[in-house]
Amino acid sequence: MKSFRTEIENPVVEQDILELERKIFAFKSGELDEEKFRSLRLARGVYGQRQQGVQMVRIKFPYGKCSAQQLRRVAAVSDEYSNGNIHITTRQDVQIHYVSLDRTPELWTELERDAITMREACGNTIRNITASPMAGIDPEEPFNVTPYAHAFFEYFLRNPICQDMGRKIKVAFSSSVKDDALTFTHDIGFIPVIQEGKRGFKMLVGGGIGAQPRVADVLKEFISFDEFIPFTEAVVRVFDQYGERNRRNKARMKFLIKEQGFDNFQQRVSDVYASVEPKELHIAKEEFKLKETTLYKANTPLDDDFENWKSGNVYAQKQAGLVAVGIAIDTGDISSDKARALAEVIEAFCGDDFRFTIGQSILLRGIKEENLPALYQALQQLSLSKAGFHKVNDIVACPGTDTCNLGIASSMGLAKELQRIIEKEYATVVAKHALNIKISGCMNACGQHAIADIGFQGMTVKSEGNIAPATQVLLGGGILGDGGGRYADKVLKVPAKRTPAVLRWLLDDYTTNALDGESFLRYYLRKETDYFYQNLKIYADSSSLTQDDLIDWGATETYKKAIGVGECAGVTIDLVQTLLFDAEEQLEKGMNALATGAWANSIYYSYAARIRAAKALLTTRAAKINSHHSIIDAFDTHFPTYTSVHNKSFGTTTRLLNSTSPNEAFANEYFNDSKQVLNWIKNYRDAQRN
C-alpha cells in the first residue's frame, strides 16, 4: 500500500485522512464491503459520479466563507487532481469532478494546509451549514449570525451523535426576517431575534424541498444564543434515534415529524434535552472587521454598462462607506485560472472576506464605495462584470446529466440556453425586475426549482416509442419572510427543446400585464395556475416530436435515459458481519473518548455500538428494525434470554443515555455495559452458527 505523510498538525484531521487511505486499500483488496466503504467515503466528501472510475469531491465552506488564499488552494487542487474547473453549489460548498479515488487522501491533505475540510460534506450527517452571505453587513440584521453559525459547525463536526443517521440534516442561518437563507426549506433553521435585550433565534424544524416539499414548523419562537446548540443536539438525537432507516425516501426529518406528530416530536426533544450537558455554550460576539485596502482609480473611462452593473450587483452595507458586490458565476462554474486571478482582486479590494452564495455565485464584502469603478474594471478584465446578481439571468442549475448519477435531463445545458436568450432579448427584465429561475436535473431539487419564481425540473416524455428529455414547469415559489415560504405549483410538462418558448411567453406575459411594482409571485397568485396552464398547454403536445426534440440541451446524440445509484445519503447496511465489525469500531471509539475525558462522546459511541450489534442479530429475525427505537424494542422481544441472564433489559439500559446527564461515572458504566452487550451478542451468534 502506498502511504504518505500528511504533515497535518491537527492529529484528529491527520487520523481522518490516514483512515480514508487505509479504507481505500481495504476496499480495493476486497477486505471491505462496497456498501460499507461507500458510507465511509461519503462522510469524507468523496461522492461517486455518473462517469465510471472517477469521483466528485465536495469541499465544505461553512456558511460560504472563504479567503483569497483558500480560493488559490482550491484552484491548485483542481489543477492537480481534477480538470481545472471549480463548481459552486447551492449549499455554499465547492465541488471538483473527475478525481481518482486513490488520490483523494492526498487531495484532502492539500486542502487542510489552508484549513479547508471535506469531512461530512456528503453522507448521513449534518451537511454544510449555510447562512446569509450578508451576515455581519446586512443593514436589517438584529445581529451578526456568523459566529453562531461557526460555533454550530465546530460543535457538530465529527460529533458522534450525527455520524450515521438515517439521512442527512441541512441547516441554515438567515441574517434577518427576510429569510434569504431559506430556513423554511431546511431540516433546522435559525432566524436572529432580540428579546428583552438578549440575542437568540427563532428555530424552525422539518422543512424540505425534494419530491414532497414541506414548510418548516416553528419549534421555538425564541431560544437564547447560549442555549440553541445544546437544544439542537436534542433535536438531532431524536432524529437519530427515531428516524426511519430502511425506507430512504421517508427518512428525512420532515417525515419523522409527520409520522410522530409535531407535539410528540416536540415532547421527545424536550425529554432528551433534559440529559444534554452543558445546557449553555458561551459564544463570543463578532462584528464585521474591515481589512484596510488601498484606494484605486479606474485606468480608463467607464463604459455604458457600469451603471447597470452598479444598480444590479452592488449592495449597501450597514458599515458607512462600504458596499458588497455580487459576482454572477454562470452555472456556478469558474476555471482555476480565473479563480486565481479573482483571488488577487479580492485581496486588493476587500482583504480576505468573501462568501460563496446559495445562488452559486460570489459576494465580495467591505468594498470602499469610491473603489467601485476600479473594481468594475478589474472584474471586466476577468469577464466577471456581468450585470445581474441573483437576477433572472443569474440562473441556478444543478450539474444534472453532466456528472450526477441521478440526473435525468441536462440542467446545465438548459441554463446556458435560457441565459443566452435572456441577455440577448430581455435585458430590461434583468435591470427592472426581481425575478429568479432555478433548474434541477431531477426531482431531488438540488437546483431549488421548487422555490423559484420560474422553476424547471428535468423529466422525460414518451412518444411513438421514443423517449425525449422533458421539463416540468413550476411557477410561484418564493420566500414569504420570517420562516414562511411558498412552494411552486407544477403547471405542466413540455419537451425540453420547447422550454425557451415557454420562458419567452412567461416573460412577455409578465412584463406586459403585471401591475407597477408587482412581483412575479404576486402576479402569479393573482392570475392563478389555470391561466398559465391554458396559455402554455400548446407547448406540451408530444404527439409529433421531431428529431431535434430527442436531443437534450448541450448534447449531440439522441437522448437515452440512464440513471445510476444516487449517493445523496449512505445506504443502510444489514449484513451481520459488517454490523458487528461496525459495533466493535464504535466501542473502540468509546474507549478512546473515555481516555480523553470526553464523557458525552463516549456515551454516544457506546450507544452506537449497542444499536449496531443488536441490529446484527435482528437481521436474522422477522423484526422491525427501521429505527433505533424499533431495534431496541425488537431486541427485548426476540431475545428475552438477555434479560433473564443479566437481570436487566437491553431497552432499559440502552435508553439511559436520554435520561442521565453525562459524567465520568455514567460514561464508564455505560461503556462497560455496552461491552457486555456486544460480547453476549457475539457469543450468541457463534453458538447459533455452531
Please check whether residues 592 and 639 belong to one and the same domain. yes
Q: What is the pLDDT of residue 567?
A: 57
Contact 647, 553 (CB under 8 A): no
pTM: 0.92
Please check whether residues 181 and 88 belong to one and the same domain. no
Q: What is the CATH number of the domain that holds 618?
A: 1.20.120.330
Looking at 273, 307, 325, the residue that finishes a domain is 273
Please check whether residues 81 and 158 belong to one and the same domain. no
Q: What is the pLDDT of residue 673?
A: 94
Q: What is the CATH number of the domain that holds 248?
A: 3.30.413.10
35 assigned to some structural domain: yes
Mean pLDDT for all residues in the chain: 91
The model's confidence at residue 443, banded by pLDDT at 50, 70 and 90, is: confident
Please check whether residues 72 and 179 belong to one and the same domain. no
* 3-state per-residue secondary structure call for 640-681: HHHHHHHCCCHHHHHHHHHCCCCCHHHHHHHHHHHHHHHHHH
Peptide bond just before 147 cis, omega within 30 deg: no
Please check whether residues 146 and 224 belong to one and the same domain. yes
- Of 5-19, 343-357, 604-618, least confident by mean pLDDT is 5-19
Looking at 112, 128, 150, the residue that finishes a domain is 112
Q: What is the pLDDT of residue 5?
A: 53
Looking at 97, 112, 127, the residue that finishes a domain is 112
Please check whether residues 641 and 545 belong to one and the same domain. no
**% of the chain residues with pLDDT over 70:** 96
Cα separation, 91 vs 131, in Å, equals 9
Cα separation, 373 vs 394, in Å, equals 22
669 assigned to some structural domain: yes
* 3-state per-residue secondary structure call for 240-288: HHHCCCCCHHHCCHHHHHHHHCHHHHHHHHHHHHCCCCCCCCCCCCCCC
Compute the half-sphere exposure of residue 361: CA atoms within 13 Å on the CB side of its CA: 24
Q: What is the CATH number of the domain that holds 44?
A: 3.90.480.20
Q: Which three cell numbers stand for residue 507?
A: 416573460
Please check whether residues 78 and 143 belong to one and the same domain. no
Task: Give the chain's domain count.
Answer: 4
Q: What is the pLDDT of residue 375?
A: 95
Please check whether residues 142 and 265 belong to one and the same domain. yes
Q: Which three cell numbers stand for residue 685?
A: 451468534
Q: Which domain holds residue 68?
A: 11-112
CA distances from 29 to 49, 55, 147, 358 (A): 22, 19, 44, 40
* Cβ neighbours of 428 (radius 10 Å): 9
429 assigned to some structural domain: yes
Residue 55's DSSP bridge partners are 48, 99
Please check whether residues 521 and 598 belong to one and the same domain. no
Please check whether residues 521 and 590 belong to one and the same domain. no
373 assigned to some structural domain: no
Please check whether residues 539 and 587 belong to one and the same domain. no
Cα separation, 483 vs 191, in Å, equals 7
* Cβ neighbours of 599 (radius 10 Å): 21
338 assigned to some structural domain: no
Contact 92, 64 (CB under 8 A): yes
Cell 441565459 found at: 419
- Of 128-132, 354-358, 581-585, 630-634, least confident by mean pLDDT is 581-585
What's the CA angle centered on 667, arms 663 and 673, to 5 degrees?
150
319 assigned to some structural domain: no
Please check whether residues 537 and 582 belong to one and the same domain. no
556 assigned to some structural domain: no
- Of 447-456, 459-468, 481-490, least confident by mean pLDDT is 459-468
State yes or no: pLDDT of 8 exceeds 80.
no
198 assigned to some structural domain: yes
